[in-house]
Structure 1
Amino acid sequence: MNLRDLEYVAAIDRYRNFGKAADACHVSQPSLSAQVKKLEERLGVELFARTNAGVVTTDAGTRIVATAREVLRSAKRIADTAAEYHDPMAAPLRIGMIPTLAPFALPYMASTIRKVAPDLNVIYREQPTDVLWSELDDRTIDIAVMSYPETPAGYRFTPVFKEPLLLMVAKDHRLANTSAISACDIPIEEMLLLTKEHCLRAETVALCNGKNIGIDVPDQLLATNFLTISHFLSRGVGCTLVPMLAQPILECANPAMRFVTIDDAAYGREIGFVSRKGCPREHILMTLCEYIRTNLPPNVTVLG
């Protein structure tokens, strides 16, 4: 059994057609069919059954194909890792981003990377902070864009900019026509929080620093994103903290929202890149950070 055999069975399972699978693998159909037949004989199980409806993957085949895809992904990571050290621009750069940043910063990040490294292929992933740490550990991603985290040994956090937090309320809220408030005037009892996997939830709780945070919000009310929260607010549920970069998109998505500035520098978050120490892409990352610091997104301040 070799990687080519695994590519064949994965392709057949995907296309459910031997001819299309052969085309995808750039071999003749007789060659692919013969090789898969040999593999079935070697394994002692049938992987695919031909029916009037087409090719069907058997129960055994389904499990074997799943394992084959895992092996192929691992082999691809081996090749990408070697390419990183041989030529850091050759392999795709895999970037993870937290969900409270990705929808609002991804267009800026993508255009910035194209200016810094136009030939670099970039793959983006949106995941909660804890998942990003796991994906950094197992090298599913190369770097992560996060709000300032506690950085374990072996990793480096490179801060880039500070993003203010705003108070978002509905247009009929008593604070809707207020341009700015002090931190002590934030109605923390009305504060609606994101679900627990979001780091901004913990940051909001720490900033508000009160045991009464959210006590006037129904216990069963849950939201995993700001747009959903905005609809809750439209129905008369208090307020929430949102990052500055989210404002333009949320204003377009829900015109009933109003945004209030908080006159306290503590109400912000530090955004930067987490990378493994010794990462072969270090020079690309540093070039990117320097470019961002001199070409910031709107309404954020430089760090580092």
Structure 2
Amino acid sequence: MTIFILLIIKSSMTLQQLKYIVALDLKRHYTKAAELCFVTQPTLTIQVKKLEDEIGTVIFDRNTTPLTPTPIGEILIAKAKSTLREANEFQELAYDNTSSISGQYTLGIIPTIAPNLLPLFLESFLKSNPKIKLVIKEMQTDFIIDALHNGTLDIGIVSTPLEDKTIREINLYQEPFLVYCNDKNTFGTSEIVKQDDLTPDDLLILEEGHCFRNQVLNICQDNDKNKNKAFLFESGSIQTIKNLVKAGLGYTLVPQLSVVEDLENNHIKYFENPKPTREISIVVNKNFAKEKLIENLLFEIKKNIPKQVKEIDNYIKVRWK
């Protein structure tokens, strides 16, 4: 480890280049690795090649599909991971201050949470923490997990549990699922819906890759009699699906924070108790040392979320996988 760190000091090698080779080892594909590092594919490709030229060693075998590390490359990548972990720990310990926090941090948040949660707390959080700059990225859960692993992301907000021993989860709230339909008489005249009443017929869902999609399928496929029926539509946006529902093209399930009840009351039905919910949490790498940042973020979110998610106590968590 000492030799490797000295090599970095004596050359123009950067920690960013080490992040690139770790990401490339994880994804084994230039474009996917670049997405993970929030850079363009040419930038990542050039920097990896520059690093190889400088140390005079080929780290990746380009003649294989997918890319594979060379034998010496595997050793260097392992050292790079250790170096990045130690560099992160050094930075966090060196600049940690129990009374105030400052600096730039990257926050990853899944698309089905971001548009509903960020407007509730972000302004208040930034006013209360004026020395912090947040770089916020909408990312699917799998990408957030990968980025927390390789150090390209500081904090995530996702649906949990992740069941990953290297990631710490700090619970924020339980968010109920609602049935969103065009006709108030869909599934009967009652405003309360039983999970067994749902069928996949005319169900509109998010496209693959969204954990919310998996949760909706888990709710709607509890009945064996419905498991072989086809789903008619998939989209990348809950708002698009809601607009299609309003046009009479089916029904869907939505998270409660995505609904303005005063304006959309004619389109929503509630589940009977125990209500199916998704658990929303802050997630960080186990080595993340900025406890004050986590505490402040937790405080601002819990202070600003509406009472319908603060007060729910009779629920069953729907898993995202």
TM-score (norm 2): 0.62
Unpaired stretches in structure 2, ≥5 consecutive residues: 1-10, 14-40, 52-79, 314-321
Question: Are 1:210 and 2:218 matched, yes or no?
Answer: no
Moved more, 204-213 or 141-150: 204-213
Give the equivalent residue in structure 1 for 2:148. Answer: 136
Letter in 2 for 1:247: V
Unpaired stretches in structure 1, ≥5 consecutive residues: 4-61
| Alignment partners' CA distance in 2, 1:106 and 1:188 | 31
| Alignment partners' CA distance in 1, 2:301 and 2:246 | 35
Residue deviations 1:232-274 (CA, integer Å, cap 9, x gap): 324433211100110129x97xx79711111133411111111
Give the equivalent residue in structure 1 for 2:46. Answer: 67
| Alignment partners' CA distance in 1, 2:111 and 2:169 | 18
| Alignment partners' CA distance in 1, 2:230 and 2:151 | 42
Give the equivalent residue in structure 1 for 2:287. Answer: 278
Give the equivalent residue in structure 1 for 2:95. Answer: 87
**Secondary structure at the residue paired with 2:308?**
coil
CA contact (8 A) 2:200 2:230 kept: no
Q: Aligned residues: percent identity?
A: 23
TM-score (norm 1): 0.65
CA contact (8 A) 1:83 1:91 kept: no
Summarize the Cα distance change of 1:69–1:116 in structure 2 as closer, same or farther, 3 Å threshold: farther
| Alignment partners' CA distance in 2, 1:64 and 1:111 | 33
Summarize the Cα distance change of 1:151–1:64 in structure 2 as closer, same or farther, 3 Å threshold: closer
> C-alpha displacement at 1:290, in angstroms?
3.7
Question: Are 1:193 and 2:172 matched, yes or no?
Answer: no
**Secondary structure at the residue paired with 1:124?**
strand
Residue deviations 1:21-45 (CA, integer Å, cap 9, x gap): xxxxxxxxxxxxxxxxxxxxxxxxx
| Alignment partners' CA distance in 2, 1:132 and 1:65 | 19
1:120 to 102, 124, 132: 132
Give the equivalent residue in structure 2 for 1:98. Answer: 110
Residue deviations 1:37-83 (CA, integer Å, cap 9, x gap): xxxxxxxxxxxxxxxxxxxxxxxxx96896259989x9xx9998754
| Alignment partners' CA distance in 2, 1:176 and 1:287 | 45
CA contact (8 A) 2:184 2:267 kept: no
1:243 to 234, 255, 263: 255
| Alignment partners' CA distance in 2, 1:64 and 1:261 | 49
Give the equivalent residue in structure 2 for 1:299. Answer: 308
CA contact (8 A) 1:80 1:91 kept: no
Give the equivalent residue in structure 1 for 2:237. Answer: 225
| Alignment partners' CA distance in 2, 1:169 and 1:64 | 46
Give the equivalent residue in structure 2 for 1:262. Answer: 271
**Secondary structure at the residue paired with 1:189?**
coil
Runs ≥4 in structure 1, deviation > 4 angstroms? Answer: 62-66, 68-72, 77-83, 175-178
Summarize the Cα distance change of 1:83–1:176 in structure 2 as closer, same or farther, 3 Å threshold: farther
CA contact (8 A) 1:166 1:244 kept: yes
